[in-house]
Structure 1
């Protein structure tokens, strides 16, 4: 197995772990000694990691950078979000009668991480692990509207919007109008855009900084989840998103205050 390892990546991981354990920072000379690496190797590693904002240099010392800390926070928040959200996803399915799901943004798609099926025999559902297209899914529209709106041109520059159904939006001007509507309403609807005769609705889940970190939604056959039900369902989904925020972030903040 060792022969498949990339030495540069191994050294970078060792360097990151080393600095994570030294909150007061380290000089390049101290890093050379601690890792027993040549000066030129350490120099290249440091320049690369600083350019990627994984590390930052203050005077002569190196510290963990903002992007490295953000990656760690995202992992912690995503795991906490998933675990705490499970009962809320289940409750939403039972109260609406439709399949409920939780998604997180993942490399240009909406990754479904939790699903609770509708209690009714007639149901539609995706499975955990599915990566849904952004432009025609309700959870994807949430992420496009609240996370990626200012970079839509770059996001779709070399990426065609797949036409899944007759209702699928496939051009940027129409998508922008739809996302502006999402931002104004606080929820997104997939109105038979991803699958024929299937309607979905999702609302954003935010962290304690107000940043969207996930989306909770429901999926149902268009025959049972009608357009007339959208306002009522939207209120239930938005309430579930708010409850997840309270459980994940407000309680976490309170526990930190007590321990602090």
Structure 2
């Protein structure tokens, strides 16, 4: 076994694999034999996994618990959400005339995972895989407002709010007030804060549980997207986010029914 591996975690993963291979469950004795572990070790392992709802005991047998199943469903839903979102991102770009994109929170940044370019020659391009600073990007502000608002000081404890342009917010207090507006309006604006002469707008995307898991938005030159268009564009982006939610919810229901 590699020196940096944690034995108890390895044993738990092995137990999960065994239980998924035995849908009718396994007894503690069967797990002892299969894992080649002392009875007391298996006992503590199973008690811990049951307490965390990763394993469930029915009679004398242990089966995969709801906690483990929910983790699996979340992983499936995350990938499915991306697939569900693609046509909505495309339609948003065509309808708004601006480059549309989908982003997810990723290790303190906003990660662009899908882009559909504006149909017009005058456009601002971004590519999947680009990470944006949260405090001065529209998608990042969405995540800060709906996921990390209570942890702003902790999130930025060891790093300053970088000033990308003269319009960038560099003060936690000002950022908090901005995020309150995001929640009240239901959308976030990057008003030439990340790049000079570029304006962006983004709204939250929720999964079938109502949890914000992504953000959809548009990016455009400020001359092509003046402030006067913000209400109209915001309505378009909200419509796209609502469509993603409805499709994700329907897909989740179908998945649950297939597993029932």
| TM-score w.r.t. length of structure 1 | 0.83
Give the Cα–Cα distance (whole angstroms) in 2 for the partners of residues 39 and 169 of structure 1.
58
SS at match of 1:205: strand
Checking the alignment, whether the CA contact within 8 Å between 1:204 and 1:241 is kept in structure 2 is yes
**Structure 2 spans left out of the alignment, 5+ residues:** none
Q: 1:118: which partner in 2?
A: 118
Pairwise CA distance, 1:168: 1.1
The 1:136/1:61 distance shift into structure 2, 3 A limit, reads: farther
Kindly state the Cα deviation for residue 223 of structure 1 after the two structures are TM-superposed. 1.0
Mapped partners of 1:48, 1:163: distance in 2: 47
- Tell me which moved more, 95-104 or 248-257: 248-257
Deviation at 1:54, TM superposition (A): 7.9
Equivalent pair of 1:112/1:131 in contact (CA under 8 Å) = yes
Partner residue, 1:150 = 150
Aligned residue in 1 for 2:185: 185
How far 1:115 sits from its partner (Å)? Answer: 0.3
Q: Note if contact 2:134-2:140 (Cα within 8 Å) is conserved in structure 1.
A: yes
CA-CA distance at 1:256 after TM superposition: 4.5
Moved more, 121-130 or 10-19: 10-19
> Partners in 2 of 1:27 and 1:259 — Cα distance?
24
Q: Which range moves more in the overlay, 178-187 or 40-49?
A: 40-49
Aligned residue for 2:246, secondary structure, equals: helix
Q: Is the 8 A contact 1:46 1:55 kept in 2?
A: no
**Residues 13-24 of structure 1 mapped to structure 2, 5 A cutoff:** 13-21=13-21
Secondary structure (helix, strand or coil) at the match of 1:110 reads strand
CA distance in 1, matches of 2:159, 2:28: 42
CA RMSD of aligned residues (A): 3.2
Please say if residues 55 and 68 of structure 2, whose CA atoms lie closer than 8 Å, have aligned partners that are also in contact: no
Give the structure 2 partner of residue 238 of structure 1: 238
Q: For the structure 1 residues 197 and 154, does the alpha-carbon distance in structure 2 shift closer, same or farther, using more than 3 Å as the test?
A: same
Shift of 1:143: 1.0
Query: Does the Cα contact within 8 Å between 1:207 and 1:245 map onto a contact in 2?
Result: yes
**Structure 1 unaligned blocks of 5 or more:** none
Which range is displaced more, 4-13 or 30-39? 4-13
Query: 1:159 Cα deviation (Å)?
Result: 2.8
Q: What is the CA-CA distance between 1:16 and the residue it aligns to?
A: 2.7
Instruction: Tell me the residue number matched to 2:170.
Output: 170
| 1:219 and 2:232 aligned | no
Give the superposition deviation at 1:138: 0.8
Name the CA shift for 1:227/1:66 in 2 (closer, same or farther; >3 Å).
farther
Where 2:134 maps in the other structure, the secondary structure is coil
TM-score normalised per structure 2: 0.83
Deviations 1:114-164 (A, max 9, x none): 100111112112211112211111111111111111222222222322221
Q: Distance in 2 between matches of 1:204 and 1:236?
A: 13
Question: Using the alignment, how far apart are the partners of 1:89 and 1:43 within structure 2?
Answer: 50
